[in-house]
Amino acid sequence: MNIDENESMGDLKDAIKTKIPSKVKCDASDLELYLARKGDAWLSGSEPSAQQLEEGKVDDDIKSMLYCKPLRAIWSIQDYLNENQMPAPQPKQIHVLVVLPNEVPLTISPNSGEARFVERYESLSKTLARHEQVESLSKAIRAILEGNFDIAPFVVLESSSGMGKTQMAFNINATGEFDVFYIWCERVPDKVQDISAAYSSRTDAFSFCLNKDFRNIKDRCDIGSIPKLRGIENLCLYGFIQAALLGKNKVDETVKTRQDVKMALEDRAASGKKPFIFFLDEFPREINREATSSTNEAFDQKCRLRLMRNIFRTFGFVVVVSSTSGTARNLVSVSSGSRNTLDYLWCIVHPIYLVLQSAVSL
């Protein structure tokens, strides 16, 4: 495709849609464009990365090109060439990567058609908000918020099914002390609680971002480590967190930096909003714990679960995890032979008793 260097990136988007309307069904403005640069050179069409891309495969070189802000529509092509000190484009080179938006938007608001299920939990929470167990959990959360932790401990609600773990998310929100963002961790069969249906869109958005990031960083050392995650500037999950903090209905997929989350936190602090809590309900089980160190699939699952839980903790959020197994509290390190002998509080296990049965159980 030929286009004058003085045209804008927005003009380039329009030209792309006009050129291949059968493939670009969305509005041209919804396209994301990235420079196809490898070091200080353009990506050659003969390189393995380019050839694999034609087959629908995205290798590490292409991933690195996408791990940045998309090109701004108002900038001219020449502006970007000058800013990045790139040579003039030549034939048999790839200059721009085009990313289509998801066919289904990443919605994080509760499903309006299932609002009655949320209302049941919220109604019961008004009665239980001052219960001693709720106050005990609130006290534990306050202690974490007020503590001087480099890495904040997380809270685990661990008990059998039907004991009120899900209800507790709505109870602590009803205290008025915190803003609780509820996440049902993963899609499950229809036979489970109706509350999962009410938050299925949020679950799908969270899983999409989590799986996309895990695929992109799974080959790095010690995935899920909080210090390592703090060093990753661009993740899809950052867009999810930013949308949650700002009360958006959908995740903006162009938002993907740690700085975006930090700015959202600053906005909340400036407006005097309550502490933000992430509640991860029905935290998944590991795959065959004994085989985790020797089976790739099990090892990947363990790393993925650590990413699921720890990405929020990299910003100092209090994370409350509900679980019917020991997975939530055991996933500290992927190494079974850690030499870290430091004594520090990393997890608070909070029991749930029958008196706090869920709205469905009652």
22: closest CA among 104, 100, 105? 100
Whole-structure pTM value: 0.73
Amino acid at residue number 126: K
Token couple for 311: 């990405």
Q: Specify the long-range contacts of residues 231-234, CB closer than 8 Å, at least 24 apart.
A: 232/258, 233/67, 233/257, 233/258, 233/259, 234/67, 234/68, 234/258
Q: Residue 353's pLDDT is what?
A: 60
| CA–CA gap between residue 50 and residue 31 (Å, rounded) | 20
| CA–CA gap between residue 32 and residue 24 (Å, rounded) | 12
Distance of CA 180 to the CA centre of its chain: 16
Q: How many residues does the chain have?
A: 362
Spatial neighbors of 326 by CB under 8 A, at least 6 apart, are 158
Q: Residue 332's pLDDT is what?
A: 47
For residues 160 and 111, which has the higher predicted lDDT (pLDDT)?
Answer: 111
Instruction: Say yes or no to pLDDT of 245 above 80.
Output: yes
Q: Residue 219's pLDDT is what?
A: 75
- Which of the listed ranges 1-10, 182-191, 220-229, 231-240 does the model predict with the highest average pLDDT? 231-240
195: closest CA among 124, 106, 128? 124
For residue range 166-225, list pLDDT tens digits in order.
999 999 999 999 999 999 998 765 545 689 999 999 999 999 999 889 988 877 777 888
Mean pLDDT is lowest, of 6-15, 200-209, 335-344, for: 335-344
Mean pLDDT of 104-132: 91
Q: Residue 330's pLDDT is what?
A: 57
For residue range 38-93, list pLDDT tens digits in order.
888 899 999 998 998 888 888 878 878 887 778 989 999 999 989 988 888 888 99
Q: Residue 339's pLDDT is what?
A: 44
**CA quadruple 173, 311, 222, 323: dihedral, nearest 10:** 20
- Which of the listed ranges 154-163, 173-182, 211-220, 337-346 does the model predict with the highest average pLDDT? 173-182
Mean pLDDT of 284-312: 75
Q: Residue 134's pLDDT is what?
A: 94
